[in-house]
Amino acid sequence: HSADAQRTDLMTITRHVLNEQSKHPEARGDFTILMSNLVLGCKFVCSAVNKAGLAKLIGLAGDTNVQGEEQKKLDVLSNEVFVKALTSSGRTCILVSEEDEEATFVDPSLRGRYCVVFDPLDGSSNIDCGVSIGTIFGIYMVRDKNEASLYDVLQPGNQMLAAGYCLYGSSCMLVLSTGSGVNGFTLDPSLGEFILTHPDIKIPKKGKIYSVNEGNAQNWDEPTSKYVENCKYPKDGSSPKSLRYVGSMVADVHRTLLYGGIFLYPADNKSPDGKLRVLYEVFPMSFLMEQAGGQAFTGKQRALDLVPTKIHQRSPIFLGSYDDVEEIKALYVKEA
């Protein structure tokens, strides 16, 4: 019976990645190994996040605990876990983390072909009140691992090979795209494996939710103000949209992906580039949105076409359902 098959034939994330790689005859298994190290990092962070209060993992970096050892804040700890797991995979070359000012160039003896950009624990200001947080990542291929340079990661998002995020929420979910659609995996804690639970995710063409920090409204530009006004007081007789804003990008984008709607972190006259970082926030989420049939726009261009010049660069971002993003695009075009 198919019901039995569903219970016994488990599509783990490793099996899924292996299947996808088998479509590329030149694949040597490197990507699969890279992914399994990345997944290990996510499992570690998930476990640490779940017992954050108990294990007294929360606390300021630099604080000392009763044993006199330094306590690490969860975001610092998560960063170390990812850097070590990715470096030791032997498949990476350059790592860019939100937590590290400089890019990490992997020791030549351990170098592989992939560059990984990531935010190890995004939304970490939410940890203390138990709100969902996440890890975001994007993967590029280096041109020549013996001549790796920052240029290899200062590439537009359309050059990414894969992108995804892990949500540490009411369940732990990993959402991944390797460039042929988007798939969602849920961690089965008893198995310690991510199992495919959301195959081929497609974002609804139009949504009923908008997601933005409206406290910044007085500093917004015209198109953003008009757009949000229209969400609340639609001129075409349709119902107003609902507002949902967690303040944790992974949670807000995940809801947008599954339910539809729009997530925006616009420019404002205090932060003309918005808040979110191009390499490890804007690009991976834009990649996923496009792969799921949605769109991502910076206010000027398709987000994935932006060419970053600095690894921690920021950009305004509007992403989500195709039709909703189309609306904000039209407002910016009018303005220009």
State the residues that interact with ligand AHM by CB under 6 A. Answer: 122-125, 213, 247-249, 252, 275
Cα separation, 26 vs 254, whole angstroms: 33
Residue with tokens 């019901």: 3
Please give the helix or strand (H or E) that residue 168 lies within, else none. strand 162-168
Burial of residue 107 (CB within 10 Å: 0-12, 13-18, 19+) is exposed
Residue 271 near which of Mg ion, ligand AHM, none (CB within 5-8 Å, type-dependent):
none
Cα separation, 199 vs 81, whole angstroms: 28
Residue 159 near which of ligand AHM, Mg ion, none (CB within 5-8 Å, type-dependent):
none
Q: What are phi and psi of 35, to 5 degrees?
A: -60, -40
Residue 50 near which of ligand AHM, Mg ion, none (CB within 5-8 Å, type-dependent):
none
CB-nearer residue toward ligand AHM: 35 or 231:
231
Give the residue among 113, 107, 108, 167 at the shortest CA–CA distance from 137: 167
Residue 89 near which of Mg ion, ligand AHM, none (CB within 5-8 Å, type-dependent):
none
CB-nearer residue toward ligand AHM: 185 or 263:
263
Cα separation, 256 vs 136, whole angstroms: 16
CB-nearer residue toward ligand AHM: 249 or 331:
249
Longest dimension (CA), the chain: 64
Cα 174 from chain centre: 10
State the pairing for strand pair 162-168/92-97: unpaired
Q: How far is the CB of 136 from ligand AHM (least distance, A)?
A: 9
Q: How far is the CB of 215 from ligand AHM (least distance, A)?
A: 7
Q: How far is the CB of 183 from ligand AHM (least distance, A)?
A: 22
Please give the helix or strand (H or E) that residue 85 lies within, else none. helix 74-88
CB-nearer residue toward ligand AHM: 36 or 213:
213
Q: 233, 210 in Cβ contact below 8 A?
A: no
Residue 152 near which of Mg ion, ligand AHM, none (CB within 5-8 Å, type-dependent):
none
Q: How far is the CB of 238 from ligand AHM (least distance, A)?
A: 26
Residue 213 near which of ligand AHM, Mg ion, none (CB within 5-8 Å, type-dependent):
ligand AHM
**Residues 6+ positions from 109 with CB-CB distance below 8 Å:** none
CB-nearer residue toward Mg ion: 13 or 166:
166
CB-nearer residue toward Mg ion: 32 or 78:
78
Q: How far is the CB of 301 from ligand AHM (least distance, A)?
A: 21
**DSSP letter string, 250-261:** HHHHHHHHHH--
CB-nearer residue toward ligand AHM: 115 or 282:
282
Interaction site with Mg ion (CB under 5 A): 119, 122
Residue 247 near which of Mg ion, ligand AHM, none (CB within 5-8 Å, type-dependent):
ligand AHM
